[in-house]
Amino acid sequence: MSKTQIPTNGIADDAVGNTKLDLTANYAFTGTITGAGGMVLVDSGNGTSASNLSIQSKFTSTFTNYRLFGTFTPVADGNDLKGRLMIGSSASSDSEYRYRVRSWRRNSSSNDEGNQTGWGADHFRLNTSGISNNTQFGCNVVLNIFNPLTQSSTNTPNDCHIMGETFAYADNGYISRSSLGVNYQTSSNFDGIRFEFSSDNIAKYNYSLFGITGS
């Protein structure tokens, strides 16, 4: 059998095996996979002692949709994590955010649920329980950001949507998981996103932003 071709009648059952393929060797894939979809790292970072985290000018026409992974810890207990979309270096605080957050909480003896909604708000919320300032855990965030470059899209209406999950230790001894959905209808193109706590600084953060290929 040629080293560069697969015969038309297929490969014999005994043509590949541990006696013919060195399983201890290192192999490099040099081809290209297309059409399968995936994620490409766009930006990442970490830091301490910040009033907010502004991820600027990272949404481009290369991708339509994005996914963000992050962990945020407040300086003091009891803070809620908020988000705003950005245009350049400015965070949009227009009263156009529509969101709902639903949380499930549990401690050693009980559990409960919480809801937070906003219609015409100047930000969106990512949780409903005050977050603990335990720097070992923080608030873990996964966000899917759809169509931030709204005016470059053929979608009608020109909406940016955000869906996500958070998990955190709350300051009241609960563990808390939240699901959120956000809508923002705009005449602008958003190219970034900002995170901050409700009444205190960020003690510690890290994040990775990915573009979704094939979207």
| pLDDT tens-place string over residues 130-151 | 787 776 778 999 999 999 986 6
| pLDDT score, position 99 | 94
φ, ψ at 151 (rounded to 5°): -80, -10
CATH placement of domain 38-213 = 2.60.120
CA distances from 136 to 26, 72, 73, 149 (A): 37, 10, 9, 35
Please report the pLDDT score of residue 89 as a whole number: 86
162 CB-near residues (< 8 Å, 6+ apart): 83, 124, 143, 144, 145, 146, 180, 181, 182
Count Cβ neighbours within 10 Å for each residue of 5-26 and write b for 16 or more, e otherwise.
Answer: eeeeeeeeeeeeeeeeeeeeee
Query: What pLDDT is attached to residue 18?
Result: 59
Higher pLDDT, 32 or 72: 72
pLDDT (average), residues 174-200: 89
- Predicted pLDDT at 41: 96
> Higher-confidence residue: 165 or 128?
165
Q: Which two tokens stand for residue 129?
A: 């329980």
- Whether the model clears a pTM of 0.85, i.e. scores above it, the answer is no
Residue range 72-128, pLDDT digits in tens: 999 988 888 999 999 888 888 888 899 999 988 777 677 777 788 889 889 999 987
When pLDDT is cut at 50, 70 and 90, the band that residue 173 belongs to is: confident
pLDDT 10s digits, 35-52? 556 899 999 999 999 999
Mean pLDDT of 46-69: 94
For position 165, what pLDDT does the model report? 96
* Structural tokens at position 157: 């209406």
What phi, psi does 100 have (nearest 5°)? -145, 135
Give the pLDDT score at 197.
Answer: 92
pLDDT, residue 133, reads 78
- What integer pLDDT is reported at residue 141 of this predicted model? 96
At 185 the pLDDT is 80
